[in-house]
Amino acid sequence: MERYVCTICGYVYDPAAGDLENGIDPGTPFSGLPENWVCPICGAGKDVFEPA
């Protein structure tokens, strides 16, 4: 699964790790994130993320 990076702050979403603090289980691909999911560091939306 592909990792995605926030173009604003550099946070990397790694599907293998998920985002446990925000209820996203490990193994969740970026495409499987809820539309309202935001970067846990800067609060940016999914639309500013690019493949890492």
**2 marked as part of a ligand binding site:** no
**48 marked as part of a ligand binding site:** no
CA distance 30 to 25: 11
Phi and psi angles of residue 31, each rounded to the nearest 5 degrees, phi first: -65, -20
For residue 12 the two structure tokens come to: 């990397």
**9 marked as part of a ligand binding site:** yes
**12 marked as part of a ligand binding site:** no
> Which residues participate in the annotated binding site?
6, 9, 39, 42
> Which residues participate in the annotated binding site for Fe cation?
6, 9, 39, 42
